[in-house]
């Protein structure tokens, strides 16, 4: 594995595979969260299942955390390798002539998303771990909706979430297509997926933004 990651191609393929995994997770995550817009009971049921199912908690959740850590670490490694490979003449060239603003600033959108993940952990994951495994509080299958709504009471926190999802859209606009190219797909086929990539890259973050704003402006 270390030999595979030591090559430039290996690192890009590994980055692409971790990206596919995380993009699939986003679909599952938003599918559950969207139910909070029209059914408090269904959202509580799905959240309770995800929060108590042993397979999810002790198998899938650790894999997800490792996937997130791996993706960001690999992203920083690739950025460092790319910078070290550039000579002074290349730096003086007009990078905008051969690449988009989004592709040249993936590291910054990635850092913004990383900051959001830390906030998300503080808001939801850490309290959940404390509730179940540290404080050993009684399990209430109907508490999830109220906790979700409460987090979006503050306009500052809601604004932070909206801004983070905007950065996620920028990150996905380049990352979706790049992941397919890095995994071995030809540039021609990757171009054909451009429409699908834009729908995903914009649709997923917009969905999360709608959820945040809906619960912020519909406080009881």
Q: Which residues fall within 8 angstroms of residue 200, CB to CB, at 6 or more apart?
A: 23, 172, 176
Joined together, the tokens standing for residue 44 give 């509580």
Q: 190: pLDDT confidence band, cut at 50, 70 and 90? A: low
Q: Which residues fall within 8 angstroms of residue 57, CB to CB, at 6 or more apart?
A: 51
Q: Where are the domains of the chain?
A: 2-217
CB 7 within 8 A of CB 14: no
Quick one: which of 3, 2, 15 has its CA closest to 181? 15
Per-residue pLDDT tens digits for 102-141: 666 777 888 888 888 998 889 988 888 888 888 888 888 9
Joined together, the tokens standing for residue 203 give 């649709």
Rounded CA-CA distance 130/136 in Å is: 8
Joined together, the tokens standing for residue 155 give 């306009």
pLDDT of res. 88: 46
Per-residue pLDDT tens digits for 153-162: 999 999 999 9
DSSP 58: I
Joined together, the tokens standing for residue 106 give 């993936």
Q: 80: pLDDT confidence band, cut at 50, 70 and 90? A: confident
Architecture of domain 2-217 in this structure: Up-down Bundle (1.20)
pLDDT of res. 40: 96
Angle formed by the axes of helices 8-34 and 40-52, to 10°? 140
Quote the distance between the C-alpha of residue 7 and its chain's center: 26
* pLDDT over 80 (residue 5): no
């Amino acid at each position: 594995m270390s030999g595979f990651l030591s090559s430039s191609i290996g690192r890009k393929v590994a980055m692409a595979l971790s990206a596919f995994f995380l993009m699939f997770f986003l679909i599952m995550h938003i599918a559950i969260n969207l139910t909070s817009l029209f059914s408090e009971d269904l959202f509580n049921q799905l959240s309770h299942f995800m929060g108590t199912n042993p397979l999810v908690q002790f198998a899938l959740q650790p894999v997800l955390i490792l996937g997130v850590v791996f993706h960001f670490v690999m992203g920083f490694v690739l950025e460092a390798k790319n910078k070290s490979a550039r000579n002074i003449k290349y730096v003086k060239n007009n990078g905008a002539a051969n690449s988009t603003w989004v592709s040249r600033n993936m590291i910054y959108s990635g850092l913004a998303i990383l900051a959001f993940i830390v906030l998300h952990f503080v808001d939801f994951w850490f309290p959940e771990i404390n509730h179940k495994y540290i404080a050993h509080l009684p399990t209430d299958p109907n508490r999830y909706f109220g906790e979700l709504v409460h987090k979006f009471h503050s306009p500052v926190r809601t604004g932070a979430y909206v801004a983070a999802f905007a950065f996620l859209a920028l990150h996905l606009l380049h990352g979706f297509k790049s992941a397919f190219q890095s995994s071995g797909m030809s540039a021609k086929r990757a171009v054909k997926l451009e429409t699908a990539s834009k729908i995903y890259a914009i649709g997923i973050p917009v969905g999360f933004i709608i959820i945040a704003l809906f619960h912020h402006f519909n406080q009881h």
